[in-house]
């Protein structure tokens, strides 16, 4: 079970390089990747172009890595490994693709990774050359694009090489050459029937559970939303990071809320299907919160704003695409596109016997963001957060 993170690049798994210590380490709940038991595993040497920490290489000449995230001293460190990722083609006659990729053998994890965040690792989907989408594109296996479908209960689907469909909406990515991310320009916001011009750049980051907005976007959206809600506002609660929460009566699943639409630079409208989060205050007492946290600087569109959509992260064409989609329908007749190299897309999705209840609200999941980007407010450890999880198999 790995967290899918478009805000970082490296795919890493909790790992034990030395076999003699594996029995002790495996006594916990974490599933370990054991390179020594994989016939296809190879250590990445310090001379590799993928090795960013060449100055820290030891005499063993095996490339180390360290990923540091902003959430409560959260980090992963170990060594880089090359191994085989097995993917299935999306067509009438599925075939298995064996792709050589780079991943981190995470020998040491700290912070939120010791709780429930990314229980068996983190799948970096960023733009750097070490990410899986970039490697698949470099090898000519797929276009440098992928789609993710976000179900309401955290169950979804990821398709490598998918560039979307002709009926999707899209907008150009806003390219920062020094720190490239999946960011777009937003020119306006509509809350209910109230449109307004509002210019800001927002990063689409699946590794952040909720959405972070800085002023003026934060104040306009939250206050306009509140002005149109006919419900009793819940008193400020230090356990909840959201400013606008409303009491739910017995048996009430949510409250009537105004629609939120983001107008992008292309003129296309990005719909926020459900911007809220239901939180249990105590037994039989719940509140519905507008799940937006105030940021000091950056604007981050988190996983909650992508729910109910298939979002296409297309670095090859430098666009972000989206379409309302039934994430539970895996019928092959769905309009999943063929990538630009005329080869089928490759996918990984949750198995048929997987229970949505198991990931509906995993406890203790925190925000995962690399230090070289933003530092959003850390959410309370006691808050139950939703996180996108997918089961992947590294087969030996």
Q: Name the catalytic one among 9, 83, 162, 205.
A: 205
Q: For the chain, what's the residue count?
A: 396
Strand partners, 276: 290
Q: How far is CA 30 from the centre of its chain?
A: 20
Q: What DSSP designation does 21 have? A: G
CB 50 within 8 A of CB 359: no
Q: What are 277's two structure tokens?
A: 């989060």
All residues at 6 or more sequence positions from 384 whose CB lies less than 8 Å from its CB, including other chains? 279, 280, 361, 362, 363
Q: How far apart are the first and last CA of the chain?
A: 17
Q: Name the catalytic one among 5, 9, 83, 162.
A: 5
All residues at 6 or more sequence positions from 34 whose CB lies less than 8 Å from its CB, including other chains? 15, 16, 19, 22
How far apart (Å, rounded) are the C-alpha atoms in residues 79 and 14? Answer: 11
205 is a catalytic site residue = yes
247 is a catalytic site residue = no
Strand partners, 289: 245, 277
Q: Hey, which residues are catalytic here?
A: 5, 205
């Amino acid at each position: 079970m790995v967290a899918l993170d478009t805000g970082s690049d490296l795919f890493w798994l909790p790992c034990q390089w030395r076999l003699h210590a594996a029995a002790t380490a495996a006594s916990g709940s974490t599933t370990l990747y054991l390179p020594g038991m994989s016939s296809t595993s190879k250590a990445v040497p310090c001379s590799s172009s993928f090795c960013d920490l060449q100055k820290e290489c030891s005499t063993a000449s095996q490339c180390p890595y360290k990923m540091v995230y902003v959430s409560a001293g959260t980090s992963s460190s170990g060594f880089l490994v090359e191994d085989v990722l097995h993917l299935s083609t999306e067509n009438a006659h599925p075939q298995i693709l064996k792709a050589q990729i780079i991943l981190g053998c995470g020998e040491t994890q700290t912070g939120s990774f010791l709780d429930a965040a990314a229980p068996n690792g983190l799948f970096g989907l960023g733009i750097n050359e070490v990410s899986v989408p970039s490697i698949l594109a470099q090898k000519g296996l797929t276009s440098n694009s992928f789609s993710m479908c976000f179900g309401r209960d955290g169950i979804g689907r990821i398709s490598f090489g998918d560039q979307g469909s002709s009926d999707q909406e899209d907008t150009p990515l806003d390219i920062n050459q020094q720190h490239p991310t999946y960011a777009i320009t937003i020119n306006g916001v509509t809350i209910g029937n109230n449109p307004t011009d509002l210019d800001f750049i927002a990063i689409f980051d699946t590794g952040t559970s909720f959405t972070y907005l800085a002023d003026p976007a934060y104040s306009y959206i939250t206050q306009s939303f509140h002005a149109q809600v006919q419900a009793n506002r819940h008193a400020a609660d230090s356990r909840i990071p959201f400013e606008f929460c409303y009491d739910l009566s017995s048996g009430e699943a949510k409250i009537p809320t105004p629609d939120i639409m983001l107008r992008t630079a292309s003129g296309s409208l990005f719909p926020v299907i459900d911007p809220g989060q239901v939180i249990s205050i105590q037994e039989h007492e719940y509140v519905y919160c507008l799940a937006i946290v105030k940021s000091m600087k950056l604007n981050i569109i988190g996983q909650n704003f992508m729910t109910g959509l298939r979002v296409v992260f297309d670095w090859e064409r430098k666009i972000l695409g989206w379409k309302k989609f039934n994430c539970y329908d895996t019928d092959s007749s769905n309009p999943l596109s063929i990538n630009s190299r005329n080869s089928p897309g490759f996918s990984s999705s949750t198995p048929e016997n997987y229970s949505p209840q198991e990931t509906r609200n995993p406890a203790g999941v925190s925000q995962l963001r690399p230090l070289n980007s933003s530092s959003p407010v850390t959410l309370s450890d006691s808050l139950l957060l939703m996180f996108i999880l997918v089961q992947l198999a590294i087969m030996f």
